[in-house]
Structure 1
């Protein structure tokens, strides 16, 4: 498979032959889907969190005496049944969503994705980017 090589002015200079090991592998849709799922899961962060009764700020003093008041016995006003108390089984921010792929599956999926990109002719090879300044104006000219 051949790909055109361009200079910075978008002029075709030559052709580059792509290595068939990386750009002509069999693409398994299930493997590509799994690799994308692992990638997206590893980007995910746990933001949802709620304070439990031990994390709510406030006093640890007993609300009222155990006996003699005629009311129900309670220990802390941070308990979940009280307004301002903690959440009983709320989400915590230390949840880990990351997934892993086996090394062979990871390399096979990368080769399959590179093959698909090459077949769609969306690979652009630029001759030399080290000689130019990082300016948008140069890219537009």
Structure 2
């Protein structure tokens, strides 16, 4: 599989050979959907808590007598049927939303995403991507010169200058190969991988 190697102007200068196992896999929509849903579910925390009819602050007095009023019988105003009453099946804050995904399935899903990105011309390679100082304007100018407005940068090593320069850009993210996740790969319009990071991805996903 040959991937486009971009220059500083965002033009294809040449190609880089990559493993067909990682970048030449057929797209499996059901598998990709499963790992994306699982990734988002596993990031979800159970913060919501609601009150039952036993915990809401209401009087336990019977609102009106049982018979003779013509209205439906009612025992107390904390009933879930009443406005301001408790919830019948409330969230307790102890819910577990996690999904289990096998490592083999997760790696296969990432390979399918990367392969489809390469076919759709949304994935490219750069020799390296760095800035001289932790300045947002430097990173923004470099991305503008390359014609990129929404990009996920996968670099072979952590670069503090690059991280600080891009963290305030809303449509830019910088990660190492081991932290590349399915949601980010799909979310950004373009994925740029440094040449050295390709070998790491092939080692992790191969």
- What TM-score do you get using the length of structure 2 for normalisation? 0.48
* Change over 3 Å in CA distance of 1:16–1:93 after alignment to 2: farther
Question: What do you get for the CA RMSD once the two structures are aligned?
Answer: 3.5
- Structure 2 residue runs of 5 or longer lacking an equivalent are 67-75, 146-206
Who is 1:10 aligned against?
A: 10
For residue 86 of structure 1, report the CA deviation from its aligned partner: 2.5
Q: Aligned residue pairs: how many?
A: 131
Contact 2:24 2:115 in 1 (8 A): yes
Q: Deviations over 1:71-122 (max 9, x none)?
A: 77xxx875657775433x2331523322121111111111122111122221
- What TM-score do you get using the length of structure 1 for normalisation? 0.65
Q: Deviations over 1:15-39 (max 9, x none)?
A: 2111222112343333223223323
Who is 1:68 aligned against?
A: none
- Structure 2 distance, partners of 1:16, 1:81, is 65
- Structure 1 residue runs of 5 or longer lacking an equivalent are 65-70
Query: As a proportion of its length, which structure holds more strand?
Result: 2
- Structure 2 distance, partners of 1:26, 1:138, is 33
